Amino acid sequence: MALSMRCTVKSVFSFIHKSSSHRRLFKAGKAMGTTILHKGQVFSGIQPTGVPHLGNYLGALESWVALQDEYSVVIYSIVDLHSITQPQDPQMLRDNILDMAASLLACGIDPSRSILFQQSQVSEHAELSWILGCLTSMPRLRHLPQWKMKSKQKNEGSVGLYTYPVLQAADILLYKSTHVPVGEDQIQHLELAQDLARIFNNQYGQFFPEPCALLSGTRKVKSLRDPSSKMSKSDPQKLATVFLTDSPDDIVLKIRRAVTDFTPEVTYEPESRPGVSNLVSMHAAVSGQSVEQVVRLAEGMDTGQYKTVVAEAIVQKLQPIRLEIQRLRADRGHLESLLAKGAERARSLAAPVMTEVRKLLGFY
């Protein structure tokens, strides 16, 4: 599926990688031995908070995999510097970094088609963050939604939490990224990156492109126990979240216990029937069908019967990923080697950019 390469400040392009027309085009291109690529560079990052859940996979990672066949340069980072805005146990953080690497690889991130690396291993991220921070006003950061939310939860937030959107901007601009796959809740942070690119360019000459957003067309996956909120790793209710490493029995149990309502028919009405609609959305996403198609398939079933169908579809989708994560986790040395090689490749792109930035600032 072709995307327009034109991008004005704060513009957003939808990226719906499951479109049938794109699949046909991609398969045709592969059959002819050609590669279908858009110009431009893609960057995105994910925090090492353990194994991803189903919502992470459908909302982001599945799109990340597809982007490897869409763009000529695709860069994915495990953003461990961002994770330390909250207290971390060092050994657990190390384990989580490797678990995230294993998960990304198992989902289909391919180091031969993209760059996968650990953020802290490329020091240019922190250096550019400091420079951009000197171009950012405090009121600009204070009004970003993540700071408002997290600082209220903690009563007060750290300097790192306050300035981490600047580090996000540095992550993106360091590679002169043109496109960034993001969720809707990150749009304002991407706008900060666009603003900082413009401010830097106005002050030092045209240098950074203003990155565009790529939004996945997948609906947000909701908590199985509270469909008014997103599925979350930190949910205290163990039955609320499906993880990529859950066993088939665990998945069946969680879907069977999913909150629905007292109406037996299966319909898609997110406002009035959020629980059942969440199941329909998940079923559609993991099976590659439309919401209308899965609702038609469920005709004549009650919600109890339908939960069995949904659980089977999720198990079928996640089982190969679960087994591959287990295999990769067993070889920490292999994961560490892949991340080290990825950091080398990322550094080879970041270092020349920072050399030019230093020259523009007058450091030498």
Per-residue pLDDT of 39-91, as tens digits, reads: 889 999 999 998 999 999 999 999 999 999 999 999 999 999 999 998 999 99
Residue 153, pLDDT score: 59
Q: Give the residue with greater pLDDT, 141 vs 31.
A: 141
Q: Which CATH superfamily groups domain 248-330?
A: Tyrosyl-Transfer RNA Synthetase (1.10.240.10)
Instruction: Give the pLDDT mean for 25-50.
Output: 67
DSSP H or E run through 43: strand 38-46
Residue corresponding to tokens 């900060």: 192
d(CA 167, CA 79): 10
Cα Dmax for the chain: 73
Catalytic: which of 10, 150, 220, 341? 150
Catalytic: which of 10, 220, 230, 341? 230
Domain regions of the chain by residue span? 38-219+332-361, 248-330
233 is catalytic: yes
d(CA 241, CA 226): 10
Identify the DSSP state of 39.
Answer: E
Q: What is the CA radius of gyration of the chain?
A: 21
pTM beyond 0.85: the answer is yes
User: Which CATH number fits the domain 38-219+332-361, given the four candidates 3.40.50.1860, 3.40.1190.20, 3.65.10.10, 3.40.50.620?
Assistant: 3.40.50.620
Runs of H (alpha helix) within 79-232: 80-83, 90-107, 124-133, 138-142, 145-154, 159-173, 187-204
- The 3-state DSSP class for residue 186 equals helix
222 is catalytic: no
Catalytic: which of 10, 220, 233, 341? 233
Buried b / exposed e over 277-286, threshold 16 CB at 10 Å, is bbbbbbbbbb
150 is catalytic: yes
* pLDDT class of 155 with cuts at 50, 70, 90: low
